[in-house]
Structure 1
Amino acid sequence: MSAPPSSAPRWMLYGASGYTGQLIAEEAVRRGHRPVLAGRSREKLAPLAERLGLELAAVGLEEMRGLVSALEGLPLVLHAAGPFIRTSESMVQACLATRAHYLDITGEIPVFENTFHHDAEARARGIALMSGVGFDVVPTDCMARYVAERVPGAHELDLAIVFSGQASPGTAKSMLEQVPSGGRVRRGGALLPWPMGKGLRRVRFTDAERTVAPIPWGDLVTAWHTTGIPNITTYMALPRAAARVVRFTYPLLQRALSVEAIRHGAERLIESRMHGPNETARNEHHTQIWAEARAPDGRRAQAWLELPEGYAFTAVAAVRAVEEVLARKPQGALTPAGTFGADFVLSIPGCRRLDALP
């Protein structure tokens, strides 16, 4: 793995004034970087820029001329302004125009798919487009590659996550945007609808056996590109009773949030009521991931990963991804593990991978 740059280049962190953006900015400065802090509101950016001693650029994503001008001379953008389904395409286009690498911290399936649609353009421009360089999807993508490499010819991949802590406003709004699309699985290489709450199973994690339910996680796209495995299911640990409630109430929620006015009202409520986890919570909470790859002949491999709280992980992983892209200069639409390898996650402090449980 490459070390932090000796003379840190300037790059842009867009969405720097948001909850996760601020954590990334602080981590970047700790690692010797000098990112330009960017976003729509100068008023929101100014206190952070002053505190960290960094430049700022106030420009909206709809202002393509101003965005391109702000990017001139910068080698890379780390995009942290969600919901990404609304914001990523403008920044991708600006990066293509200025030959700047594009990274983001999305977990939204349509955004991953859109990023890969720009693969040929990115290669022609000599830049990398890489979505999901935070908790979504660095740890799961690395685990997918790890177990897949132990089972050549695998045709099934399962990934399961145990969350702890609370969501930030940005994460909650991104989740709202995905509700109308419903559940998903990958079968035979294609993304297919899947009823939320259906397909419960039991998975042994490092601390306990838990009930998990299929969810539409970003690895349904990224793990497919990283491993080529055609059948992928992504799970989240839920109390069995909660999973059953989800199965019966999700269609109602799905229909309600398909109405734009209701969805925007919910987003305003989130902005006024929700806050991301504080520093104590980020230090105390932890997350677990389980992965299994299976081949038609019965061969299989499992692995487990213990890692820090999700937002704390994202801040470090995103800056590490910036460092790797600037050092390697990869080209095309890429995944974290496909580019940096299965062990990239182990470069994040506090991550421990296990091949077997006691």
Structure 2
Amino acid sequence: MTNFPASATVLVYGAYGHTARFVLDELMRRGLEPVLAGRSSERLLSLSADYPDLSIRTADVADAHALLSGVDLVINCAGPFADTALPLAAGAVQRGIHYLDLSAEQQPVLNLAAEFQGIPIASTIMPAAGFFGALGDLLATAAADDWAETGDLEEISVFTALDHWHPTSGTRRTGERNTGLRFKVADGNLVPLAPSHSPGKPPVSWTFPAPFGTCELGELGLAETICISRHLPAQRVSSYLNLSALTELRDPVTPPPTATDATGRSAQRFVMEAVALRDGVRRTARVQGQDIYASSAPILVEAAARIIAGEAPTGVLSPASAFPAQGFLASLPFEHFSLNTEATLP
């Protein structure tokens, strides 16, 4: 775990969101007093009752002057990120401030990469630094290890299973807004991905460790595919999620998550595996844990601490392209993290 300098000022935008609460608590656990920010003064005032010692800034993402004065790093927790990522990141770059967000969507990552491509900037811009996005990329990079330095990988697949998915209101709003093309990597290039529920598209079967076992999965266009494609030379990159969790996510009557412990975590269990394939050899990196929303916080905050400590280059990056992936994963409080190399496949 990397500590923040005592003088660091971190602003959390959309601080009253579900995942943002975990981010605030993680920042405070590491000794910071983050600035609470967002568009709704009413919701910020309500939040301040739980965080009475923290300062508040109310402004839209386009009002960078009101938001970012005196700030070292901004964490964007306000989705849909298709609307908030680019204006907030642009305001940060203009002031030499670092930017991170929790997007699971592909398009914001693509937008930020395109906006700042080839432009010298003094900021580190790190979209998709949470569960969907950074974690799959970190696992893929840990699994690929030295292969990425010695030639193209044949394939990288990210497999995720959730025992259930009770989505937050923010997740639902993002899903409604996220209507554009999704992508996977085929023949080394980003190509449009057919929806997992397309007629005639069969599910993928994958066997996870207990308690999940063998699951049917749907292929999804998630942020980790874009993050992986930007720094790992793989011919094919795909991401999958178990269909039972997808069914719950898409059901409008599925309730939001319910806290089951003092930290606010739900009882949700997850496993995520990234599998890298080359020359018939398969390497797998796996994590298991509780609550995908809560698990985003330590990933994002560890990345933020390392950025402020000067460990990351400038530009648009992911945690896996900025930091040693295996060491980063080992620093996170997951219940299980493992790496495995299998013998040559038949």
Instruction: Specify the TM-score bucket, using the shorter chain as the normaliser.
Output: 0.7 to 0.9
Does the Cα contact within 8 Å between 1:12 and 1:74 map onto a contact in 2? yes
Q: Which amino acid aligns with 2:337?
A: R
Residue in structure 1 matched with residue 237 of structure 2 by the alignment: 232
Does the Cα contact within 8 Å between 1:132 and 1:336 map onto a contact in 2? no
1:118 deviates by 3.1
1:111 deviates by 0.4
1:221 deviates by 0.4
Q: Which amino acid aligns with 1:160?
A: F
Determine whether 1:355 maps to 2:339. yes
1:285 deviates by 2.5
> Aligned in 2, Cα 1:124/1:47: closer, same or farther, shift over 3 Å?
same
Does the Cα contact within 8 Å between 1:185 and 1:192 map onto a contact in 2? yes
Residue in structure 2 matched with residue 12 of structure 1 by the alignment: 11
1:335 to 299, 318, 337: 318
Q: Which amino acid aligns with 2:259?
A: N
Deviations 1:96-131 (A, max 9, x none): 12111110000111101011113346x623111100
1:5 deviates by 2.2
Q: Which amino acid aligns with 1:71?
A: L
Does the Cα contact within 8 Å between 1:168 and 1:277 map onto a contact in 2? no
1:50 deviates by 4.2
Residue in structure 2 matched with residue 220 of structure 1 by the alignment: 225
Determine whether 1:203 maps to 2:206. yes
Secondary structure in 2 matching 1:194: coil
Cα root mean square deviation, aligned: 2.7
Residue in structure 1 matched with residue 125 of structure 2 by the alignment: 129
> Aligned in 2, Cα 1:298/1:346: closer, same or farther, shift over 3 Å?
same
Q: Which amino acid aligns with 2:191?
A: L
1:199 deviates by 4.2
Question: Could you tell me the percent identity over the aligned residues?
Answer: 23
Q: d(CA) in 2 for partners of 1:142 and 1:329?
A: 15
Deviations 1:7-45 (A, max 9, x none): 151121000011112221122112211111100112211
Determine whether 1:312 maps to 2:294. yes
**What does 1:143-182 align with in structure 2 at a 5 Å threshold?**
143-149=139-145, 151-152=147-148, 153-163=152-162, 164-178=164-178, 180-181=179-180
Secondary structure in 2 matching 1:348: coil
Does the Cα contact within 8 Å between 2:266 and 2:291 map onto a contact in 1? yes
**What does 1:65-104 align with in structure 2 at a 5 Å threshold?**
67-104=64-101
Secondary structure in 1 matching 2:92: helix
Secondary structure in 2 matching 1:23: helix
Secondary structure in 1 matching 2:132: coil
Structure 1, unpaired ranges of 5+? 247-252, 254-265
Deviations 1:112-164 (A, max 9, x none): 1011113346x623111100111122221111101222545312111110123
> Aligned in 2, Cα 1:129/1:199: closer, same or farther, shift over 3 Å?
farther
Matched length: 326
Residue in structure 1 matched with residue 329 of structure 2 by the alignment: 345
Q: d(CA) in 2 for partners of 1:355 and 1:98?
A: 40
> Aligned in 2, Cα 1:329/1:182: closer, same or farther, shift over 3 Å?
closer
1:193 deviates by 2.8
Deviations 1:180-201 (A, max 9, x none): 3365322121232324232422
Q: d(CA) in 1 for partners of 2:307 and 2:235?
A: 28
Residue in structure 1 matched with residue 344 of structure 2 by the alignment: none
Structure 2, unpaired ranges of 5+? 342-346
Secondary structure in 1 matching 2:131: coil
Q: d(CA) in 2 for partners of 1:172 and 1:58?
A: 24
Secondary structure in 2 matching 1:102: strand
Q: d(CA) in 2 for partners of 1:329 and 1:234?
A: 26
Q: Which amino acid aligns with 1:81?
A: A
Q: d(CA) in 1 for partners of 2:237 and 2:78?
A: 28
> Aligned in 2, Cα 1:222/1:6: closer, same or farther, shift over 3 Å?
closer
1:316 deviates by 2.0
* TM-score with structure 1 setting the length: 0.83
